Amino acid sequence: MSFTEILGQKRAVEILRRERAHDRVPHAYLFCGPEGVGKKRTALALAQVLECAAMGEDACGSCPACRKVAHDRHPDVHLFQPVARTKGATAKIHIDQVRELQGVISLKAMEGRKKIMILDDADRMVEQAANALLKTLEEPPGDALLILIAAFPDLLPATILSRSRKVRFQPLSDEVVTQVLMREKGMEEAEARSLARFAQGSLSRVMEMELDDLLSRRERFLGEIGRWKEGDLSAVFAFAEPFAKNAGDAIDFVTYLLEWTRDLIAVKLRGPEGVLIYRDQVPDLEANCRGATLQDLLDQFEGLQKTLQKLERNVNPRLALEVALSRLVA
């Protein structure tokens, strides 16, 4: 993974390149931005270029250091991710993981020029772990670099935010998602383009899904929407039930609703059909938005976005869905 292989994050990569070129790499970066846009890949690309034996503007990709980073075998580059300690528990970064990080960081680098600690989903650190990490951020060893990755940086304590240099990552364009799907999943262009429209700038969602799977779920969703118009709350809850079992499914469900509402707004504003996700459902969309004002639809969109954020913060999926749906029907 080198900088040139990072797609759609020109600004973030430029900042990192520049700071490295001027020898101004800080002790801690905070990479923030939506899920699935390349934050972890970029962290690994930075680790590679910092350890690369060739010491060029980008990682060479072939020296032993580059290969070790790529295969997660470099003794000075460590990736920490949230773990679920009991079955069904929410994955978190725990205090003992931060202690392990501190142990590694207190030693001299073994092979590399720097000791690089990447904390994926750092916003899922338990409070004790965050407090412990703060001590490291206050007095970091000279050759240490911490890269914190977070989709919801606001969940991190202000004391951690103020000690790390923030680099923002953007949602990916449909074009970039299409390219990645073609390159990494070997998809035909037409299929990749259809899927990219559902990605909403995030690769993590579509990379795990096949188009057929996605379309059949979406069809089930559309098949139900007619029943909702009658305001039958129990039918809506019954339909939401299977999606409420886990946060991932609930996130998909709310995402369909968001896409649907986004299309309703586009129809209300008489936007071109090309911008619609559900462009094969124009008569239904028109019928659906007839009784609603633009403000109603914008409120609905905002409400659903908040629900999505809650779900991504691991709020009880059933509760979040029920609250969102009862507002929708009312």
Provide the binding-site residues for Zn ion, judged by CB under 5 A. 52, 54, 60, 63, 66
Question: Between 64 and 242, whose beta carbon lies closer to Zn ion?
Answer: 64
The arrangement of strands across the sheet holding 144-150 comes to 77-80, 115-119, 144-150, 28-32, 165-168
Shortest Cβ distance from residue 49 to Zn ion (Å)? 8
User: How far apart, in whole angstroms, are the C-alpha atoms of residue 246 and residue 314?
Assistant: 10
Shortest Cβ distance from residue 45 to Zn ion (Å)? 11
Shortest Cβ distance from residue 67 to Zn ion (Å)? 8
Which residue in 138, 203, 169 sits closest to 31, CA to CA?
A: 169
Backbone angles phi, psi at 118, to 5 degrees: -105, 125
Question: Between 63 and 329, whose beta carbon lies closer to Zn ion?
Answer: 63
Shortest Cβ distance from residue 77 to Zn ion (Å)? 13
Shortest Cβ distance from residue 37 to Zn ion (Å)? 25
With beta carbons less than 8 A apart as the criterion, state whether 132 and 95 touch: yes
Question: Between 76 and 123, whose beta carbon lies closer to Zn ion?
Answer: 76
| Those residues with Cβ within 8 angstroms of residue 125's Cβ, 6 or more apart along the chain or in another chain | 92, 93, 98, 119, 133, 156
Question: Between 54 and 215, whose beta carbon lies closer to Zn ion?
Answer: 54
Q: Using CA atoms of 152, 149, 211, 174 in order, give the dihedral in degrees to the nearest 10.
A: 80
With beta carbons less than 8 A apart as the criterion, state whether 51 and 77 touch: yes
Question: Between 50 and 276, whose beta carbon lies closer to Zn ion?
Answer: 50
Question: Between 116 and 304, whose beta carbon lies closer to Zn ion?
Answer: 116
Shortest Cβ distance from residue 66 to Zn ion (Å)? 3
| Those residues with Cβ within 8 angstroms of residue 92's Cβ, 6 or more apart along the chain or in another chain | 82, 83, 84, 85, 124, 125, 126, 129
Question: Between 65 and 264, whose beta carbon lies closer to Zn ion?
Answer: 65
| Those residues with Cβ within 8 angstroms of residue 308's Cβ, 6 or more apart along the chain or in another chain | 251, 254, 255, 258
Shortest Cβ distance from residue 116 to Zn ion (Å)? 14
Distances in Å between the Cα of 127 and the Cα atoms of 61, 92, 98, 116, 226 are 37, 10, 11, 22, 45
Whose tokens are 């989903």? That residue is 121
